[in-house]
């Protein structure tokens, strides 16, 4: 069994801002410092969205900020950097394609890519997060050309089949690394039974991780690691350390999942070990 790779999603996605928690890092310096603390606590990957430096809401011009985050993080620690292609879409069409293509050259080793379209999973469920297959193919091409490894985000089980189809077409190189985003509501239910079904559909040579929201983050992470998978924690998915109590840092959430791994006698991967497991090219 490989060592456990822990990803820290430190910045929060679309909804997480200073309005929700005063502890979410917003400025480039805060994000870099938070990442370094997560690395020290046991995370080997950091997942990044671009945030307004004051409010923590989605940044209007994400690429320059993401580039600044990467440079500052590189000065502080050797963690693997994973940059979103999902959040902060203020543009569409060819402008979005250009933004994503440019983003592949910021210096990260990985980028997430959603494997399909999905109804929004937060109330009032009145929108669609769009990622059609031609878009996936274009963005995968940008990543391949830039030497960035994709992390395939799986929100429902049909997206596993999409990944297989695109592998057969040569869009993605195997073995893949996928992440089951168990959002519930309009996506995969955050239950052990649902995870087992997902794994039954997944080729055995692919590496995989679990991301679950809120109170499901810890128990689903524990289930994943006992099944040989990896885990994601952090403010993007959960801002609480226990019921009703805000976590004061992402590092607290990393430390908690490390304690679970230690109790299960599962060794946590360093960043260099994570690179070897995932076949990453050091940047």
pLDDT digits (tens, 9 = 90+) for 195-240: 999 999 999 999 999 999 999 999 999 999 999 999 999 999 999 9
**Domains with residue ranges and CATH for the chain:** 6-278 (3.20.20.70)
Q: pLDDT-based confidence at 122, cuts 50/70/90?
A: confident
Phi and psi at 280, nearest 5°, equal -85, 150
Give the chain's mean pLDDT. 94
Please determine, for residue 118, whether its predicted confidence score (pLDDT) is greater than 70: yes
Q: In whole angstroms, what is the distance from residue 121 CA to residue 125 CA?
A: 6
The stretch 163-178 carries a mean pLDDT of 96
Q: pLDDT-based confidence at 243, cuts 50/70/90?
A: very high
In order, the DSSP letters of 38-55 are HHHHT--EEEE--B-TTT
Phi and psi at 11, nearest 5°, equal -90, -15
pTM above 0.85, yes or no: yes
Predicted confidence at residue 233, as pLDDT, reads: 98
Please choose, from the candidates 84, 114, 118, the residue with its C-alpha nearest in 3D space to the C-alpha of residue 100. Answer: 84
Please determine, for residue 38, whether its predicted confidence score (pLDDT) is greater than 90: yes
Q: pLDDT-based confidence at 184, cuts 50/70/90?
A: confident
Please, what sign has the CA dihedral across residues 38, 39, 43, 49?
A: positive
Residues contacting 100, CB < 8 A, separation 6+? 85, 139, 142
Please, what sign has the CA dihedral across residues 81, 82, 88, 89?
A: positive
Predicted confidence at residue 119, as pLDDT, reads: 86
CB 247 within 8 A of CB 253: yes
């Amino acid at each position: 069994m490989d060592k456990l790779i822990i990803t820290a999603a430190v910045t929060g996605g679309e909804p997480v801002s200073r309005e929700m928690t005063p502890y979410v890092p917003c400025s480039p310096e805060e994000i870099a410092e938070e990442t370094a603390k997560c690395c020290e606590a046991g995370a080997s990957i950091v997942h990044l969205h671009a945030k307004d430096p004051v409010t923590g809401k989605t940044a209007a011009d994400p690429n320059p900020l993401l580039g600044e985050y990467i440079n500052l993080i590189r000065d502080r620690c050797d963690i693997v950097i994973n940059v979103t292609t999902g959040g902060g879409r203020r543009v569409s069409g060819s402008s979005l394609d250009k933004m994503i293509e440019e983003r592949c050259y910021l210096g990260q080793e990985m980028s997430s890519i959603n494997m399909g379209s999905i109804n929004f999973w937060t109330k009032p469920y009145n929108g669609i997060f769009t990622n059609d297959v031609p878009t996936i193919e274009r963005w995968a091409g940008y990543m391949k050309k830039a030497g960035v490894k994709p992390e395939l985000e799986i929100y429902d089980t049909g997206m596993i089949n999409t990944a297989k189809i695109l592998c057969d077409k040569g869009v993605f190189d195997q073995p893949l690394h996928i992440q089951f985003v168990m959002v519930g509501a309009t996506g995969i239910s955050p239950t052990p039974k649902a995870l087992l079904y997902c794994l039954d559909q997944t080729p055995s040579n692919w590496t995989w991780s679990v991301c679950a929201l809120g109170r499901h983050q810890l128990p689903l992470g524990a289930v994943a690691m006992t099944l040989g998978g990896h885990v994601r924690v952090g403010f993007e998915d959960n801002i609480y350390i226990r019921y009703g109590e805000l976590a004061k840092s992402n590092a607290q959430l990393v430390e908690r999942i490390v304690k679970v791994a230690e109790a299960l006698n599962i060794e946590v991967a360093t960043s260099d070990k994570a690179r070897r497991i995932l076949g990453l090219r050091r940047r």
